[in-house]
Amino acid sequence: MADTIAETVDLLYGVDQDNLTVEQQISLGQAYAALAQAEQLHRLNEQLHSIHQLLSASALRAAVDGSGR
């Protein structure tokens, strides 16, 4: 996903905004908003993955500690 976001950023920032029609400017603004949302969702997904790993490791430790008694 990061490659897709980076490629999209390159595309969006490569647009010559001076020669856009009003409709194209609106579409570009919507594309920027969608990109920002995608970046936020990507970061959220990474955070959730980290939390999942911590919880899984904690559950595994608890299972190992509980079985050794």
Question: pLDDT, tens digit, for every residue of 3-43?
Answer: 777 888 888 888 999 999 999 999 999 999 998 998 899 99
pTM score, whole prediction? 0.66
Distance CA 39, CA 27 (A): 18
* Distance (Å, whole) CA 5 – CA 21: 25
Contacts for 12 with CB less than 8 Å, ≥ 6 apart? 28, 31, 32, 35
Q: CA-based diameter of the chain, in Å?
A: 73
pLDDT at residue 1 tops 70: no
